[in-house]
């Protein structure tokens, strides 16, 4: 009796690859693989090559480490943005979420993660030295009290640990350090906050008191 789960190893490989994506179950993966199989070959090539190109060709802004098509991202190269105010975030998605609120006119610094001993992420895996370098350059150009770093990190312990670690690095420069107003609940993830709440918590940011 024929007893294989998949009629083709090619189908099995594709389903397993698609099913490895977060939030995509085996059943959806099969549906998607069979959907792709029904599409014209050039559409499938376009689909896969757009993913390959994203992974291989994407650049990161040399200033803030945001995803960028050029050496400096659209935000850092925008002269209307306040370069003296740096919002520190964990990820690219956080920048996109904050930009959507249209409340914030400063610039960003993407850490590329958060300090998490459980996940094996330490300070040296993040762009903390680059952030300190930016602050150092700013205080050589402007009075320290005009320079501000805003922590827009998760309210969970990793976010607070990361903020505290960075605070100790940059506090000696005498700059203003603030953190998101917790209009959003403690422990809430930035990605799930509604735009109004997120926007207000940037506007009502509070002095960081460790």
Contact positions vs a copy of itself (CB under 8 A): 1-2, 4, 6-11, 13-14, 16-18, 20-24, 28, 30-37, 39, 41, 44-59, 66-69, 73-75, 78, 80-81, 91-93, 95-96, 99, 102, 105
- In this complex, which beta carbon is closest to a copy of itself, that of residue 119 or of residue 145? 119
Q: Strand 82-89 and strand 148-151: pairing? A: parallel
Shortest Å distance, C-beta 173 to a copy of itself = 26
DSSP string spanning 109-150? EE-SS--BTTTTB-GGGTTHHHHHHHHHHHHHHS-GGG-EEE
CB of 16 to a copy of itself, least distance (A): 8
Structural element, H or E, at residue 77: none
CB of 4 to a copy of itself, least distance (A): 6
Burial of 57 (0-12, 13-18, 19+ CB in 10 A): exposed
Helices (H), 39-106: 41-57, 92-101
Of 28 and 197, the one with the shorter C-beta distance to a copy of itself is: 28
Q: Which is nearer to a copy of itself, 91 or 144 (CB)?
A: 91
Shorter beta-carbon distance to a copy of itself: residue 12 or 169: 12
């Amino acid at each position: 009796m024929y007893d294989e789960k998949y009629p083709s190893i090619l189908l099995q490989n594709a389903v397993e690859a698609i099913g490895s994506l977060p939030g995509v179950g085996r059943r959806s993966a099969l549906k998607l693989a069979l959907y792709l199989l029904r599409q014209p070959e050039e559409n499938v090539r376009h689909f896969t090559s757009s993913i390959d190109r994203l992974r291989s060709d994407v650049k990161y802004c040399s200033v803030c480490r945001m995803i960028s098509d050029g050496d400096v991202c659209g935000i850092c190269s925008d002269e209307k943005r306040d370069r003296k105010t740096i919002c520190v975030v964990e990820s690219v998605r956080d920048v996109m979420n904050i930009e959507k609120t249209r409340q914030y006119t400063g610039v960003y610094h993407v850490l590329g993660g958060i300090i998490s001993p459980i996940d094996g992420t330490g300070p040296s895996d993040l762009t903390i030295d680059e952030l300190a370098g930016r602050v150092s350059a700013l205080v050589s150009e402007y009075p320290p009290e005009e320079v501000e770093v805003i922590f827009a990190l998760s309210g969970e312990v990793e976010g607070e640990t990361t903020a505290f670690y960075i605070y100790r690095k940059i506090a000696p420069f005498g700059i203003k350090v603030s953190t998101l107003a917790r209009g959003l609940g403690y422990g809430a993830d930035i990605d799930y906050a509604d735009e109004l709440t997120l926007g207000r918590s940037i506007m009502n940011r509070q002095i960081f008191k460790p």
